C-alpha cells in the first residue's frame, strides 16, 4: 500500500509543478478569416486607427484571434474569442512608464522570489464586457473595467531559470504565473 502512495505522489507532484505552463503558437491570418463581429467591434472602439495585422493564436489548448496595431503612438493588441467577442485589450509599456509605487511593488516581488531577474515585456491589460471595453476606449469610462499587468520575465531562483508570464493586479501584486515554453523552431539555423 505504501509504494502505491509513493507512486501516486511521484506522478502527481511533477504535474502540479509544471501544470502551469504556457505554450503559444501565433500565425498571421487574412482579415476575411476573422469573424465580422471582431472587425466591427475594433472599428467602433478604435476609430481612426490605421493598418491592423490579424493573427490566430493557439495558447495551451485555447484558440483566439488577435489584432495588432499602433494607435495614439502605442502598440496595442486586442484578443477575441473564435466567435469574435472581445476578451481583452493590451497596451505595451516600458518599465519607466509605470508609476513609482507599481515599480516598487513589482521590484519587491521579483527581489523576494528570484536571485536574478530581467523583464522582457510589460503589457497593461484591460478586460470587461465588450460594451464596457468599447466605452472605455471611446469615452474613458472605467466602470466595469478590470486593470492588470501581464509581464514576461526571466527569473532565476530555487527551481532553476525560466521564462515566466506573470499576471499582476493594478498595484503590482502577483495574481498568477506560469512558465513559458518556447517550442522548437521549424527552421534550421546555420
Is residue 147 within 8 Å of residue 154, measured between CB atoms?
Answer: no
Q: Which of 1, 155, 118, 138 is nearest to 71 (CA)?
A: 138
Region 21-181: CATH code = 3.10.450.360
> pLDDT tens for residues 92-106?
999 999 999 999 999
Q: Which helix (H) or strand (E) holds 150?
A: strand 146-157
What integer pLDDT is reported at residue 28 of this predicted model?
A: 96
Cα torsion through 90, 111, 178, 87, rounded to 10: -20
What integer pLDDT is reported at residue 188 of this predicted model?
A: 55
Cα torsion through 172, 100, 72, 74, rounded to 10: -60
Average pLDDT of the residues in 5-10: 35
> pLDDT tens for residues 14-48?
333 444 677 778 999 999 999 999 999 999 999 88
| Confidence tier at 160 by pLDDT (50, 70, 90) | confident
Domain locations in the chain as residue ranges = 21-181
Angle between helix axes 36-45 and 130-139 (nearest 10 degrees) is 30
Q: Which of 174, 184, 123 is nearest to 20 (CA)?
A: 174
Amino acid at each position: 500500500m505504501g509504494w502505491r502512495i509513493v507512486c501516486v505522489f511521484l506522478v502527481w507532484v511533477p504535474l502540479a509543478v509544471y501544470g502551469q505552463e504556457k505554450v503559444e503558437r501565433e500565425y498571421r491570418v487574412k482579415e476575411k478569416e476573422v469573424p465580422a463581429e471582431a472587425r466591427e467591434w475594433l472599428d467602433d472602439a478604435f476609430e481612426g486607427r490605421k493598418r491592423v495585422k490579424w493573427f490566430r493564436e493557439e495558447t495551451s489548448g485555447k484558440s483566439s484571434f488577435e489584432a495588432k496595431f499602433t494607435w495614439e503612438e502605442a502598440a496595442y493588441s486586442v484578443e477575441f474569442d473564435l466567435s469574435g467577442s472581445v476578451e481583452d485589450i493590451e497596451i505595451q509599456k516600458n518599465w519607466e512608464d509605470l508609476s513609482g509605487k507599481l515599480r516598487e511593488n513589482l521590484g519587491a516581488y521579483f527581489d523576494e522570489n528570484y536571485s536574478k531577474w530581467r523583464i522582457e515585456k510589460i503589457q497593461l491589460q484591460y478586460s470587461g464586457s465588450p460594451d464596457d471595453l468599447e466605452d472605455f476606449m471611446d469615452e474613458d469610462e472605467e466602470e466595469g473595467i478590470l486593470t492588470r499587468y501581464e509581464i514576461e520575465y526571466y527569473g532565476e531562483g530555487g527551481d532553476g531559470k525560466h521564462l515566466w508570464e506573470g499576471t499582476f493586479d493594478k498595484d503590482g501584486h502577483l495574481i498568477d504565473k506560469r512558465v513559458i515554453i518556447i517550442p522548437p523552431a521549424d527552421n534550421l539555423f546555420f
